[in-house]
């Protein structure tokens, strides 16, 4: 059993001495960070009746590999493939044999912010063609969308101010617009054209060789052309930015990878063609993290586009290094429970452990079952923190009885299965019902469900190493389902299923077509998934899993604070929205919504609670800003006066209140008559009595 309660991973940039009771980890290559259990266990294979067929839109060369299920381009491969995706700074929509580009307008109310698609430009073959698009390649930072019947290949790279089109055979082109073309001009070599629309937009087209263009009121056409065409919106239609686009128009990215080589560090590297330096766009969190690292990049602060995530600014450089501050992965609270409060927590602990009875569980849904597992695991760790080992054996027995049937495939009513079509774990209930297990069978919420199980497995392995060794293949299969870094080393699972290396947070929405792209509701459950994986790494002595889990935890927390937490004086969102909200409901790639999947926006206690649960030591890092916590709680408290507010949700509100008003929160928690299914009186008292 590991005795350390903290681990500290030294970022590669700094040479700092390890703090007391903290273990520094060596830096490592990405190949080492993906060190996996050699068995590559998979759960029993099944044929889902609800999963879509990937062969419609993925090229045949990709179908033998695990495929992304929660990616930034997911709409392109679902149903008709004709819903837009937001690829900063443009909304892009493929329909039939054409591709439409929109620099979206923004609509704001106090309840929602969203970007509106208008087909500013639609590009196709002038000779007309039929047929759908195909995804011929993809990576963390790019997707290549081919329209074979039109000889067009769109190199869609995230954060590129240019739309890059490779015309593979001499083909006459058509570029239409819903606007009127007011002016149209070219340079002497016919490799640059500038056109202005009646909506105030100015677009610039660059060609790798001379191209002959002519236009009508709303269409631009070309003679047969082959080569590279790049089209960019001129920011604010301001001519001062034209020189920037000119300078970097001849260097274009083909694809881009995010490399997790060092702890708390992500490196972007692009494959590029053409000449000169590479210009891409960075969102606010990129800019923050670029400043932490040694970078051979130039930030063009005045060259920017608007985006749903805040202004994106120009960055010149062939690779970026993004570095976060390290986070502490702890089994227990930072400060420990106050000695004078120990007896109250021990009393609650004894009662809660007495209530553990695996044979009385009727729940079969993976999400709620996982929460029951993690709730019990919390009791074991709290007992250890309180130096009260008497109850731990009963908790361990309960964890074995609840976890083993899922790992062995003997659980009645549900279980983990393997889907080979897309490459991943699904559940029995989700294999024939798209809504079963909250859509787990169509790859919704994988990090949420599996994170709870991993928390229980990590704790059980911590206390019983022999058990951990026995079930290590199954445990690592659960981790790899959403944290696989290398599909060559483990071809059973796609790469980083939920975590998005460009926006630097996760997506929960799986294989469902949504007009506004992917979405995520609960950031805290996402954080807990990666945190639980890091704890499992601790329990198994796997430094590489600790490193990757801790890195993703740190990034997810930063994304949470940047985009889900709405501070009173925040400027990321418009004043109308910021005045009325302190926390997001559901965040979409193209929308910000105050409503929840399960509750209206007015149920503020649910909005707070779903961004806090489960209450664990890493929650301290998510809500480290006490001033914001006070704003959030004071904004939420009036909602508790509504009839029918659940006691479980109240508990989470009071937990955060305890950060700045410990005594008031304690009294309220003592008066609660119920708790969330993943929470307990013991856990709330532990939290309150360990605030410093």
**Residues 293, 98: contact at Cβ < 8 Å?**
no
| Paired tokens of 92 | 């892009």
Confirm if 689 and 337 have CB atoms less than 8 A apart.
yes
C-alpha pair distances (Å), 601 with each of 112, 448, 593: 10, 22, 9
Q: Which of 85, 309, 445, 556 is catalytic?
A: 445
* List of residues 6+ apart from 555 with CB closer than 8 A: 266, 324, 499, 504, 505
**Smallest Cα–Cα separation from 449: which of 427, 422, 471, 477?**
427
Question: Over the range 638-670, which residues count as b (16 or more CB within 10 Å of their CB) and which as e?
Answer: ebeeeeebeebbbbbbbbbbbbeeeeebbebbe
User: Going by DSSP bridges, is the β-strand pair 416-419/424-427 parallel, antiparallel, or unpaired?
Assistant: antiparallel
Q: Is 85 a catalytic residue?
A: no
363 among known catalytic residues: no
Q: Residue 542: helix, strand or coil by DSSP? A: coil
Instruction: Kindly name the residue from 140, 419, 521, 605 that is annotated as catalytic.
Output: 521
Dihedral angle over CA of 664, 338, 618, 329, nearest 10: 170
What residue has token string 């990878």?
A: 257
Q: Is 567 a catalytic residue?
A: no
Q: How far apart are CA 550 and CA 562, in angstroms?
A: 18
Cα–Cα distance, 333 to 323 (Å, whole number): 25
Handedness of CA 359, 361, 363, 369 (dihedral sign): negative
**CA quadruple 433, 438, 441, 443: dihedral positive or negative?**
positive
Rounded alpha-carbon distances, angstroms, from residue 229 to 73, 181, 192, 225? 22, 19, 10, 10
Considering 419, 474, 525, 542, which one is annotated as catalytic? 525
The CA R_g of the chain, rounded to the nearest whole Å, is: 26
Q: 369, 442, 446: which is closest to 404 by C-alpha? A: 369
Strand 505-506 and strand 499-500: the pairing is antiparallel
Alpha carbons 591 and 308: distance in angstroms, whole number: 7
Element (H, E) at 167: strand 162-171
Q: Mind telling me the catalytic residues?
A: 445, 521, 525
């Amino acid at each position: 059993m590991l005795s350390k309660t903290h681990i500290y991973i030294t970022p590669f940039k700094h040479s700092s001495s390890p703090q007391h009771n903290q273990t520094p980890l060596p830096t490592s290559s990405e190949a080492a960070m993906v060190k996996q259990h050699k068995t590559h266990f998979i759960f029993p294979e099944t044929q889902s009746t609800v999963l879509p067929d990937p062969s419609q839109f993925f090229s045949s060369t990709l179908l033998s590999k695990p495929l992304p299920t929660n990616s930034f381009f997911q709409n392109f491969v679902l149903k008709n493939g004709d819903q837009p995706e937001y690829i900063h700074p443009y909304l892009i929509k493929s329909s039939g044999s054409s591709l439409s580009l929109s620099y979206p307008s923004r609509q704001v109310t106090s309840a929602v912010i969203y970007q509106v698609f208008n087909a500013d430009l639609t590009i196709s073959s002038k000779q007309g063609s039929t047929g759908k698009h195909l995804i011929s390649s993809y990576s963390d930072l790019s997707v290549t969308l081919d329209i074979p019947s039109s000889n067009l290949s769109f190199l869609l790279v995230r954060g590129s101010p240019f739309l890059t089109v490779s015309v593979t055979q001499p083909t006459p082109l058509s570029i239409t617009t819903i606007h009127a073309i007011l002016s149209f001009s070219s340079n002497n070599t016919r490799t640059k054209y500038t056109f202005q629309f009646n909506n105030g937009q100015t677009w610039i087209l660059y060609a790798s060789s001379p191209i002959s263009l002519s236009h009508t009121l709303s269409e631009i056409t070309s003679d047969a052309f082959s080569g590279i065409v790049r089209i960019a919106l001129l920011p604010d239609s301001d001519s001062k930015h034209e020189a920037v686009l000119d300078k970097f128009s001849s260097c274009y990215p083909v694809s881009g990878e995010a490399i997790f080589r060092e702890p708390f560090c992500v490196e972007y590297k692009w494959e590029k063609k053409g000449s000169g330096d590479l210009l891409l766009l960075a969102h606010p969190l990129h800019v923050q993290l670029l400043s932490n690292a040694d970078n051979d990049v130039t930030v063009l602060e005045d060259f920017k586009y608007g985006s749903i995530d805040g202004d994106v600014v120009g960055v010149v450089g062939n690779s970026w290094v993004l570095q976060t501050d390290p986070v502490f992965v702890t089994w227990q609270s930072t400060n420990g429970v106050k000695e004078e409060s120990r007896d109250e927590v021990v009393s609650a602990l004894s009662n809660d452990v007495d209530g553990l009875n695996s044979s009385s569980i009727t729940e079969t849904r993976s999400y709620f079952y996982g929460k029951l597992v993690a709730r019990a695991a919390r009791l074991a760790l709290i007992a250890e923190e309180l130096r009260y080992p008497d109850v731990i054996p009963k908790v361990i027995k309960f964890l074995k009885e609840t976890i083993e049937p899922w790992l062995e495939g003997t659980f009645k009513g549900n279980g983990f299965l393997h889907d080979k079509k897309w490459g991943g774990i699904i559940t029995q209930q989700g294999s024939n019902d798209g809504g079963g297990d909250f859509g787990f069978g169509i790859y919704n919420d994988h990090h949420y469900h599996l994170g709870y199980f991993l928390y229980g497995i990590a704790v059980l392995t911590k206390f019983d190493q022999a058990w951990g060794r026995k079930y290590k293949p199954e445990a690592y299969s659960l981790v790899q389902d959403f944290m696989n870094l290398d599909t060559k080393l483990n071809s059973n699972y796609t790469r980083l299923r939920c975590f998005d290396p460009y926006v630097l947070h996760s997506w929960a929405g799986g294989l469902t077509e949504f007009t506004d792209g992917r979405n995520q509701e609960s950031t805290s459950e996402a954080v807990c998934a990666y945190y639980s994986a890091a704890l499992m790494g601790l329990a198994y002595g796997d430094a590489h899993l600790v490193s990757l889990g801790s890195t993703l935890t740190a990034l997810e927390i930063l994304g949470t604070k940047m985009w889900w937490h709405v501070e009173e004086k925040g400027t990321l969102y418009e004043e109308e929205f910021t005045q009325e909200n302190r926390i997001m409901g559901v965040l979409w790639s193209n929308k910000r919504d105050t409503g929840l999947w399960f509750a209206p926006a007015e149920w503020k206690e649910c909005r707070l609670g779903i961004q806090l649960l489960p209450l664990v030591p890493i929650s301290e890092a998510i809500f480290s800003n006490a001033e914001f916590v006070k704003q959030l709680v004071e904004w939420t408290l009036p909602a508790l006066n509504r009839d029918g507010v659940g006691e479980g949700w109240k508990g989470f509100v009071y937990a955060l209140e305890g950060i700045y008003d410990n005594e008031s929160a304690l009294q309220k928690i003592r008066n609660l008559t119920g708790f969330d299914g993943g929470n307990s009186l013991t856990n709330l008292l532990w939290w309150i009595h360990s605030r410093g």
